Structure 1
Amino acid sequence: MRRISKLTRVAVGVASLALAATACGGTSSDNGDSGGSKEDLGLAIAYDIGGKGDQSFNDAAFAGLTKAKDEFGYKTADVEPTEGETDADKEQRLASLARQGYNPVIGVGFAYGPAMKAVAAKYPKTTFGIVDSVVEGENVASLVFAEEQASYLAGVAAAKATKTDVVGFVGGVDIPLINKFEAGYKQGVRDTDAKVKVVSQYLTQTAEEGGFSSPDKGKAAAEGQIEKKADVVYQAAGLSGQGVIEAAAKAKVWAIGVDSDQYQQEALAAYKDYILTSALKDVGGAVYALAKSVEDEKPLTGTQVFDLKVNGVGLSESNPKMAEVPGLTDAVAKAKEGIIDGSITVETE
């Protein structure tokens, strides 16, 4: 197999992957016929905190796995995290998947970084992928995103939609990755209307405290921001974001979703009228792109950047009410053009 080690921008469409309907957690695999001609089994993913059913980050990865399974007709596996697990637990999970013959093996989330580095070196014939982190290795593809760019567009939308001149941001955990979401959002708001105030809150300082997996924490944070007159609340909080959306809908203010088009998700259907838009991050497209590269015997390695130029991030337009907000659609389109042509540089912190 020929490995591509240089940085490659993979063109994937944010809107091209419909989020597959997901059930509750657990470990699952497809035990169908692999076709007999494949030396390896197919794609395997190991979920981040929150697991399958978060209607966000992990479910987007599952959508990529489903697309690969349907297209290539091979065995797949998706494995849930365990509460309070260590790096050693993650290492054992990745090693088990590689040992069984799955290829590629993808760790969904930056938390897999240390484990990925250790395991990839032990299984040089397996292609590994990690989402949201950069891990050096000849057989590792680091799938990273320009979250700040999508968040900038979310900020533009929020500044156009607010009637109180106060908008909110709820981050799951106070870490550099989520700081990128906040930075882009604040800049988008500021550049659109400097008089609009952004109220920010992080749910926890560490992932182990439940910042990405506690809808009750998200709901309480959003309620607090709404009490401070926020009438648009953007969340980058994984499963906790469901609580933010619930609180916004209850108060009849706007929520902005994250990672997946949350307006379209069945589990959030009761709240969809209050989901203005979502900052998209095509995790599913990245997962599928790596699977396809292995299937084509030209596995991607190195840092793979998914940004606005390649539709790796974006802003959803599913809610028809977006078009009813004066100036919103044009402002978002203009901002997107500026980011792509380089006239707008989006902050990451």
Structure 2
Amino acid sequence: MTFTKHLMGAAATIALTAGMAQADAHAANPGLIIDLGGKFDKSFNESAYNGAQRWAEETGADYAETELANEAQREQTMRRMAERGANPVVVLGFANASTLEVVAPDYPETEFVIVDMVVDQPNVKSIVFSEHEGSYLVGMMAAMASESGTVSFVGGMDVPLISKFACGYAQGAKAVNPDINVIVNMTGTTPAAWNDPVKGAELTRSQISQGSDVVFAAAGGTGIGVLQAAADEGILSIGVDSNQNYLHPGSVLTSMVKRVDNAVYDSFTQAMNDALEPGIMVMGLENEGVGYAMDDNNADLVTAEMQAAVDAAKQQIIAGEIEVHDYLSDNSCPAF
């Protein structure tokens, strides 16, 4: 396992093992464990990495980082990070939850943060997102932009969390057009589904053959293939997690941003200020945890009417006037 450090050059390993053992001006010596797919997936992992980098640049402090290469490394990596003195240890991805349930009790003095799942341990902070709400908004945009009356969704691994995205998307689309056809495909049933852009492109072309003219990808690195195929075939796409509008300017309608960067940045900052608390934090529309991306790359694709409708729905969701069904609440979706 490669254990990398940032901003401290050749002294990195020494700083990690020795510097963390002594008190200094900072209350935190954070560690970040990046999930499968790599830190430059242009999506979930990269957003988290950007949050860590922002914290390091603003504070001048340092953090430890490692990337998972396979499933078998999950437990070993968490234990190594804790034993080397990282605190807090921020773990990315729902797939790490069962491992953290086992590891966290063995390191009661270490604070852990898991992003995207809930782990009920006294030294764990769990950060989850209202993905269904953000997906509802981009579903509305997809329906308003569609000329064919068919839109689609490509998910990564077929797990309930990704169905949460798909369900919110379908609800938003049908709120605009009750008769719209929403095609949903998942890439696979193993973690490889997060990093298969070729399969993502194949699924997108299949959806296009069925009439889809707007496709939403929630598939990690696989989504890069979805967005590329959409651009190649002349239809619109919707990115996820990070703002992916820049990948194909004029082709990406918007991105359903999920502020994983803020989750990591805030966790590091709270730990530095000795203010990190265990428990569950939900990041949704109200606290800007999810939303949709607007910039110069998609300004010509989103009309003022579209944006006004989506912004109105956003406020209605926040106020409780629109209730977006959460697939995770009962593993069902009223829009399908």
> Fold conserved (TM > 0.5)?
yes
Query: Any conservation in 2 of the 1:41–1:75 contact (CA below 8 Å)?
Result: no
Q: CA deviation at 1:31?
A: 5.7
Cα distance in 2, alignment partners of residues 72 and 182 from structure 1: 38
**Residue identity opposite 1:166 in structure 2:** T
Q: Deviations over 1:196-241 (max 9, x none)?
A: 110110111232xx21111111110001001111110001000000
The counterpart of 2:65, out of the listed 78, 85, 110, is: 78
TM-score normalised over the length of structure 1: 0.86
Q: CA deviation at 1:49?
A: 1.8
> Which residue in the other structure is 2:79 paired with?
95
Q: CA deviation at 1:327?
A: 2.6
Query: Any conservation in 1 of the 2:250–2:301 contact (CA below 8 Å)?
Result: no
**Residue identity opposite 2:269 in structure 1:** K
The counterpart of 2:169, out of the listed 165, 178, 185, is: 185
Query: Any conservation in 1 of the 2:27–2:273 contact (CA below 8 Å)?
Result: no
Q: CA deviation at 1:74?
A: 2.1
Query: Any conservation in 1 of the 2:27–2:272 contact (CA below 8 Å)?
Result: no
Cα distance in 2, alignment partners of residues 144 and 105 from structure 1: 16
The counterpart of 1:220, out of the listed 173, 192, 202, is: 202
> Which residue in the other structure is 2:265 paired with?
288
Cα distance in 2, alignment partners of residues 323 and 169 from structure 1: 19
> Which residue in the other structure is 1:143 paired with?
127
> Which residue in the other structure is 1:19 paired with?
none
Q: CA deviation at 1:59?
A: 0.2
Q: CA deviation at 1:40?
A: 6.3
Cα distance in 1, alignment partners of residues 193 and 305 from structure 2: 34
Q: CA deviation at 1:330?
A: 1.4
The counterpart of 1:308, out of the listed 268, 281, 285, is: 285
Query: Any conservation in 2 of the 1:222–1:248 contact (CA below 8 Å)?
Result: yes
Over 3 Å counting, the alpha-carbon distance change for 1:302 and 1:122 in structure 2 is same
May I ask how many residue pairs the two structures share in their alignment?
Answer: 314
The percent identity for this pair of structures is 36
Cα distance in 1, alignment partners of residues 69 and 36 from structure 2: 8
Gap runs ≥5 in structure 1 = 1-24
Q: Deviations over 1:43-89 (max 9, x none)?
A: 21111121111000000000111112122222212211113x22xx2
**Residue identity opposite 2:292 in structure 1:** L
The counterpart of 2:302, out of the listed 316, 323, 335, is: 323
> Which residue in the other structure is 1:47 paired with?
34
Higher relative contact order structure (alpha carbons within 8 Å, sequence separation ≥ 6):
1
> Which residue in the other structure is 1:13 paired with?
none
User: RMSD across aligned C-alpha pairs, in angstroms?
Assistant: 1.8
> Which residue in the other structure is 1:6 paired with?
none
Q: CA deviation at 1:292?
A: 1.0
The counterpart of 1:238, out of the listed 220, 234, 253, is: 220
Q: CA deviation at 1:117?
A: 1.7
Query: Any conservation in 1 of the 2:47–2:259 contact (CA below 8 Å)?
Result: yes
TM-score normalised over the length of structure 2: 0.89
> Which residue in the other structure is 1:163 paired with?
147
SS of equivalent residue, structure 1 residue 238? coil
The counterpart of 1:247, out of the listed 220, 229, 242, is: 229
Over 3 Å counting, the alpha-carbon distance change for 1:296 and 1:41 in structure 2 is closer
Cα distance in 2, alignment partners of residues 118 and 309 from structure 1: 33
Cα distance in 2, alignment partners of residues 217 and 183 from structure 1: 22
The counterpart of 1:116, out of the listed 97, 100, 103, is: 100
> Which residue in the other structure is 2:116 paired with?
132
Q: CA deviation at 1:28?
A: 2.5
Q: CA deviation at 1:299?
A: 1.2
> Which residue in the other structure is 2:179 paired with?
195
Q: CA deviation at 1:154?
A: 0.8
Gap runs ≥5 in structure 2 = 9-14, 328-336
Cα distance in 2, alignment partners of residues 182 and 169 from structure 1: 7
SS of equivalent residue, structure 1 residue 309? coil
Larger CA deviation: 315-324 vs 136-145 = 315-324
SS of equivalent residue, structure 1 residue 279? strand
The counterpart of 2:46, out of the listed 52, 59, 73, is: 59
Cα distance in 2, alignment partners of residues 248 and 323 from structure 1: 17
Cα distance in 2, alignment partners of residues 196 and 286 from structure 1: 35
Q: CA deviation at 1:39?
A: 7.1
| Alignment partner of 1:105 is 2:92 | no
**Residue identity opposite 1:175 in structure 2:** V
Q: Deviations over 1:320-343 (max 9, x none)?
A: 12334x731111111101111001
| Alignment partner of 1:259 is 2:241 | yes
Query: Any conservation in 2 of the 1:40–1:101 contact (CA below 8 Å)?
Result: no
